[in-house]
Structure 1
Amino acid sequence: MAYVLLVVGFILLIKGAGYFVDGSSNIARLLQVPPILIGLTIVAFGTSSPEATVSIIAALEGSADVAVGNVVGSNIFNITLVVGLAAFLYPLKVESETIRKEIPFTLLASVALLILMSDIFLQGFSSNMITRSDGFIFLLFLSIFMYYVIEIGLKSRKNAVNEPTPKNITWGKNIVMTLLGLAAIIFGGDLVVDNGTKIAYSLGMSETLVGLTIIAIGTSLPELVTSISAALKKQSEIALGNIVGSNIFNILFVLGASSVISPLAVSDKVFTDVVLMIILTVVLLVFSRTGFKIGKREGFVLAAVYVIYLVYIIVRN
């Protein structure tokens, strides 16, 4: 029964995220907000909402390993398999100055995570924790990022010509769609955490492994679907921008909010994964600056890295 409920939870997360993104995007269009602002905020936040729900619920239930593992695992999955598959389907052009600035910001957030969770090494404490004060630091970083994005959005608004909103896009329908999506995400997230943890224990898996694999992959499915569909539509900036934006939200908002609610104990195993996440972000930065595109070859390399990583963490458990 736990397996059935886990699948139901994932379906609710994916469908809920879809409704949430569509409804929010249409509301943004009704408000005449520039498309660039929608891509960097609403789409990125919408596809990160399953991670946020799962990690916050896990933090409330005392499953810190699931909360942290979910974020780190999702970010690694996004950089490797999601970008890899999207680039393999259609080379991702990196022309926008925005994306070239966002990837370094992702790197900054990843390094900040490594520093703030290294309490034993840096401060000589008895355990590694992401404390409430660390959480507030992440949320402060997020507010700086949001200020930067809004500034870009306002600048682009001056130059952009707003198209008239189609008559079939109405306030009532999209508010209901957004709220239903949010409800499905919250309920689905609860099912995923509860049943994912039960399955982990029954199979002798650690919470860290479950967070890094089953839950991380499940909550990253909205990013996968969004980026692949964007790549197929040859909207490469949305495909890559969604991933980079989502990774920033995952670290700064998801871990920030989770640790403010309940301080998170960090497993020693996760350090290897965080270092790998930092290395992969550097690789993504290098790939994106080489000819300003991520091609099929780079996509294949990134996807292959995820397969190797998955084998490694399963063996490590």
Structure 2
Amino acid sequence: MLLPSVLLIAGLAILILGANFMVEGASALAKKFNISNLAIGLTVVAFGTSAPELVVNTFAAVQGHEDIVFGNVLGSNNFNLFIILGITGLITPLAVQSSTAWKEIPISFLAIIVLYVLVNDSLLFGRDGSRLNMMDGFILLIFFALFLFYVYKQLKSDPSETEELIPLTALTNTKMALFIVGGLAGLVLGGHLVVNNATQIAESLGISQKIIGLTVVAAGTSLPELATSVVAALKKNADIAVGNIIGSNIFNIFLILGASSILAPIGFSEGFNTDIYILAGGTIFLFLAMFMGGRKKLDRWEAAILLVFYLAYTTYLVMQEL
């Protein structure tokens, strides 16, 4: 039990370091070929923050650990929304741009609705068993491409946001290659360690892979978003703090689940619908919070509600398993 726990923590650390190294190396390589900060932000950096979830889900999907696939994505999205926005909102009230309130938050809600319809074959359409299949995966990836196009149009009108997000470092060719190859190797090794040891811990404790996916794995793969948002909040840059979370949640559903289900059909347990409902409710709360009190702002008391609710829900989940 001790060894799998240590290896799980090591796997999460290697995942995050691998993603950081890969982003730094790939960004430097792209800049060397005069690729714009805008393009780098939309591709390399965006992929980098989602890489831990993507790699973990790739291993979990291929190995047939379906509850870890859904637990990781839904758990990460709820962790992002309730815990990370809760913490950053307590640090400083989060005032955002009009486009975030009126466009990005509704798009993240649309992603939840699309996912709910695609995974609930049995509940909505009376089919025998629910799953996310290859066709569903392609639908999610089409939505992802449309979202990327939307972000491209948004950032093109205000490229200064991308400049602030990407501190580019000049690297030698050798360092670039080492960063990229080493980063990818770290992602593969870290993902392998996380999935194998998370399932081993679940089995030894007699708890479900769903709970491990929703809590430990989800929180661990969300650490890059937590670090980015906390730093942005401390610098009073609310747009990055909120935009990072909303963008990550959209990426996780459209890209991560889309890619995972193309690799292998993923059986869906209807018990995850509760987590989808909570994610939808939290997203609606965030949208309404933009128009309560301070306009287009998440106040500290609203952030506290997010944080306390999710801590209580997670405690309830764990207690149910013990």
- TM-score greater than 0.5 by the shorter chain: yes
Cα deviation code 1:121-169 (max 9, x no counterpart): 2221111111111111000100111111122233335x99989x99962
Q: Which secondary structure state, in structure 1, belongs to the residue aligned with residue 52 of structure 2?
A: helix
Residues 41, 162 of structure 2: 8 Å contact kept = no
Residue in 2 that maps onto 1:224: 226
2:287 corresponds, among 273, 285, 298, to 285
92-101 or 127-136, which moves further after superposition?
92-101
1:38: Cα distance to partner? Answer: 5.5
Listed as ranges, the matches of 1:61-80 within 5 Å are 61-80=63-82
Q: Quickly say closer, same or farther: Cα 1:200–1:125, change in 2 above 3 A.
A: same
Listed as ranges, the matches of 1:17-166 within 5 Å are 17-26=19-28, 31=34, 33-34=36-37, 42-98=44-100, 100-156=102-158
1:295 corresponds, among 292, 296, 299, to 299
Residue in 1 that maps onto 2:320: 316
Q: 2 CA distance for matches of 1:101 and 1:166?
A: 27
105-114 or 26-35, which moves further after superposition?
26-35
Q: 2 CA distance for matches of 1:188 and 1:40?
A: 24
Q: Quickly say closer, same or farther: Cα 1:95–1:29, change in 2 above 3 A.
A: farther
Listed as ranges, the matches of 1:119-268 within 5 Å are 119-156=121-158, 169-170=170-171, 172=173, 173-174=175-176, 176-268=178-270
Q: Which secondary structure state, in structure 1, belongs to the residue aligned with residue 158 of structure 2?
A: helix
- Equivalenced residue count is 314
1:99: Cα distance to partner? Answer: 5.9
TM-score (norm 1): 0.90
Cα deviation code 1:198-218 (max 9, x no counterpart): 000000011111111111111
TM-score (norm 2): 0.89
Residue in 2 that maps onto 1:305: 309
1:178: Cα distance to partner? Answer: 3.7
Residues 45, 246 of structure 1: 8 Å contact kept = no
Query: Structure 1 vs Structure 2: percent identity of aligned residues?
Result: 41
1:111: Cα distance to partner? Answer: 0.7
207-216 or 167-176, which moves further after superposition?
167-176
1:84: Cα distance to partner? Answer: 0.8
- Please tell me the residue identity of whatever aligns with 2:183: G
- Please tell me the residue identity of whatever aligns with 1:106: S
Alignment RMSD (CA, Å):
2.6
Q: 2 CA distance for matches of 1:222 and 1:167?
A: 18
1:55: Cα distance to partner? Answer: 0.8
Residues 110, 274 of structure 1: 8 Å contact kept = yes
Q: 2 CA distance for matches of 1:245 and 1:143?
A: 13
1:316: Cα distance to partner? Answer: 3.2
Q: 1 CA distance for matches of 2:281 and 2:28?
A: 36
Q: 2 CA distance for matches of 1:86 and 1:175?
A: 35
Cα deviation code 1:186-238 (max 9, x no counterpart): 21011000001000000001111111111111111111111111111222211
- Please tell me the residue identity of whatever aligns with 2:313: Y
Cα deviation code 1:278-315 (max 9, x no counterpart): 11111111223441111221221111112011012113
Q: Quickly say closer, same or farther: Cα 1:89–1:39, change in 2 above 3 A.
A: farther
Where do 5+ consecutive residues of structure 2 fail to align? none
Q: 1 CA distance for matches of 2:85 and 2:269?
A: 27
Q: Quickly say closer, same or farther: Cα 1:151–1:28, change in 2 above 3 A.
A: farther
Q: 1 CA distance for matches of 2:282 and 2:150?
A: 24
